[in-house]
Structure 1
Amino acid sequence: MEGNMMEMFEVGPCEDDFHLGFLIGQRFRDQIRSRLAGDLILQNQLLPFARTTQAQPLIKALSETNQNKFPRYWDELLGTAEGSGVPILQIILVNLRKEILPFISKAAMNSNADTADDCSDILIVGDSMAIAAHNEDANVALVGHTYLIKGKLSNGLSFVAYTYAGELPSCAFGFNSQGLAFTLNSVPPAEAEIVPAGIGRNFVSRDLLEATSITDALDRRMILNVETASRSRVSVHEVGTTPFFHANMYLHLQVQQIRLLCSRVIPTTLSSPTLALVPSYQNFLVSPFQGKSTSPPP
């Protein structure tokens, strides 16, 4: 089974962000190229759409918006493309797929479309424990195409991030040396809520890896559930002793959203015995921070 263990790649400090991305792309060149070649969403939907006249202004605007907001992470993305030998367009498309797919006509979509029911969490905080149990769901193209990045930055901060091949760390979950951890769940807004050319979620989550605090969260045990949407809308829920379940629906931020079938049968709170099934998550999320568990899962 040793050959199936997920690899952790330690990288940095680097001379610049392009070099950081280049080393990651170079190290995981085969996995990145294999993932992109077998990703039916990329091959059958994103790439054909990118060749249309309708897509050109959208992709250009998305690229400019995210490059201007996060120039360092954009350079990291360019480095990943260079290091892996993959066309930069493909790297851009997989990193911004959630922001592009809503603009592909339903007629062009097929059964391989990206689904909204990605990932879920159970959260609980008590006097003697703080647990964040995360279930990572994703497209089948990612099977065997993920890895862990342990990045060390020139300012002394370091992070560990579960990373999809070819994407910025991390659109899944991660934690850093400041004691801050996060997990991510996809939430599907209604079509009227979608703003073109906005900030990509991959860039937001990459920035979370370098965050140093959430108010006084580093001074006490805290888990926050943070829901965000376009137009700078945000809602924060502090998890307490009542177990809190979050999957792929907005629970406390008032947003028009797509109603998923599973939301009718999954309760928003679960009884305490359910947590007995996932004790290992407590060690994974708490012990790296020496007892601190600061996890804001958007």
Structure 2
Amino acid sequence: MRSFDMESEKLEMFEVGPCKDSYEMGFLIGQRFSQRIKNRVAGDTILQNQLRPFAQTPQSESLLKHLFDNNQSKFPMYWDELLGTSVGSGVPLLDILLINFKKEILAFVPKEGVKSLQDDSSNECSDVLLVAESMAIAAHNEDANVSLVGHTYIIKGILPDGMFFVGYTYAGELPSSAFAFNSNGLVFTLNAVPPAEDEIVGGGIGRNFISRHILEAQGIDDAINRIRSSEVSVGHSYNLIELNTHRIVNVETASKKRISIHEVGETPFFHANMYRHLHISQAQDESSISRLKRANVMTKTTREDFLSILGDADNEKYPIYMTGPLLHTLCTAVIDLDEQTLSIIEGNPKKEEASFVFSLSSMNLINDNLV
């Protein structure tokens, strides 16, 4: 368990709140991580080469207006949080919005000339899940474009009613588009999924806004209701973990309010970046097919087995544990339902010790849940 200074560009946690409003929370986060957010924006190749140029074209105007208006209308508090982040960090609001709505916008960016960047944008994250008498565990690789290495932090947000959440957060984005837990005993991890182009609807609710919304959920059922209530543009996969009932469910979503729920049990369940049980037309992702095939033949009996799966680089072209050149595994999160801990491992999970270990059994403690 350790924290790092900003100069090292390593992972650190910032506690914020209770705040008078959402704008103030965003402002304080933006102010605290101003340099890291600026560095992320300056080096984000997808923002620089695709999102910004597209935002300057006439054909983007109606899409962006529809997208921004719908999300601001449905979630005004989270919109205000982003306004605060922009002002606090000194980063233009448009850049903050573009990185938060990356997935909803990229689907409409012309593909010519940006194929290599486009292709790497959805191959993000692997999870292996199990709920059995011998062990209940969810292990998650957080994968991203290499330009995002060093551009993350952990936010512990305390709300006015005393509830809190802890989320692994990309610089400038809402907590959390990766993994998080809250003081109601709900934990989640996320996987990107690639619906076919004709399955995507413009102007829907952004996935960052939905995951920010489920950060405040009371449990799995409430989280599913929050997911169901939003008309999304693209799709997403949510691994929802409820401590007090010892449950893990995988929820896959798509546009037009389509949703499928898989209850994880004694058969280990591996999820990468393709739909496993929601029947829709999807883009074939060779990386996910390869990772699933590899995970299926690996032993899944112990916690160490799960870490070996997520640390596996047997397939040089499509490894489960990624080290570039386009994608990089930023960290691994391990949620142990029996021990009631969430561990964050920086480096290959087969070899490295946890940098942070959070106790999930003392949720009533507002200021001291880092063990």
**Matched length:** 292
User: Which piece of structure 1 moves more, 167-176 or 267-276?
Assistant: 267-276
Q: Which letter does structure 2 place at the counterpart of 1:246?
A: H
Counterpart for residue 252 of structure 1:
277
Find 1:276's aligned residue among 298, 304, 307.
Answer: 304
Is 1:130 paired with 2:136?
yes
Q: Which letter does structure 1 place at the counterpart of 2:79?
A: W
Would you say the 8 A contact 1:45–1:108 is kept in 2? no
CA deviation vs aligned residue, 1:107-136 (integer Å, no higher than 9, x gap)? 152433352110010000112532000001
Counterpart for residue 212 of structure 1:
218
Counterpart for residue 263 of structure 2:
238
Find 1:290's aligned residue among 348, 351, 361.
Answer: 361
Bigger relative CO (Cα 8 Å, ≥ 6 apart): 1
Is 1:17 paired with 2:14?
no
* Structure 1 SS opposite 2:15: strand
Counterpart for residue 49 of structure 2:
44
Please give the TM-score of this superposition, normalised by the length of structure 1. 0.92
* Structure 1 SS opposite 2:359: helix
Counterpart for residue 203 of structure 2:
197
Find 1:70's aligned residue among 71, 75, 85.
Answer: 75
Pairing 1:168-207 to 2, within 5 Å after superposition: 168-207=174-213
Would you say the 8 A contact 1:62–1:199 is kept in 2? yes
Counterpart for residue 99 of structure 1:
104
CA deviation vs aligned residue, 1:220-254 (integer Å, no higher than 9, x gap)? 21011111111111111111111110000000001
Counterpart CA distance in 2 for 1:234 and 1:110 is 29
Please give the TM-score of this superposition, normalised by the length of structure 2. 0.74
CA distance 1:263–1:112, change in 2 (3 Å): closer
Would you say the 8 A contact 2:300–2:306 is kept in 1? no
Q: Which letter does structure 2 place at the counterpart of 1:260?
A: D
Counterpart for residue 330 of structure 2:
none
Structure 1 unaligned residues grouped into runs of 5+: 293-298
* Structure 2 SS opposite 1:94: helix
RMSD value, Cα = 2.2
CA distance 1:96–1:215, change in 2 (3 Å): closer
CA distance 1:9–1:100, change in 2 (3 Å): same
* Structure 2 SS opposite 1:189: coil
**Structure with more of its chain in strand, by fraction:** 2
Structure 2 unaligned residues grouped into runs of 5+: 223-241, 308-332, 344-357, 364-371
User: Which piece of structure 1 moves more, 171-180 or 279-288?
Assistant: 279-288
Counterpart for residue 122 of structure 2:
116
Counterpart CA distance in 1 for 2:147 and 2:100 is 14
CA deviation vs aligned residue, 1:23-47 (integer Å, no higher than 9, x gap)? 0000000000000011111111111
Q: Which letter does structure 1 place at the counterpart of 2:182?
A: N
CA distance 1:227–1:68, change in 2 (3 Å): same
**Structure with more of its chain in helix, by fraction:** 1
Give identity over the alignment, percent: 57
Would you say the 8 A contact 1:131–1:285 is kept in 2? no
Would you say the 8 A contact 1:46–1:101 is kept in 2? yes
* Structure 1 SS opposite 2:28: helix
- CA drift of 1:102 comes to 1.0
Counterpart CA distance in 1 for 2:95 and 2:289 is 36
Would you say the 8 A contact 2:299–2:305 is kept in 1? no
Counterpart CA distance in 2 for 1:290 and 1:274 is 22
CA distance 1:264–1:218, change in 2 (3 Å): closer
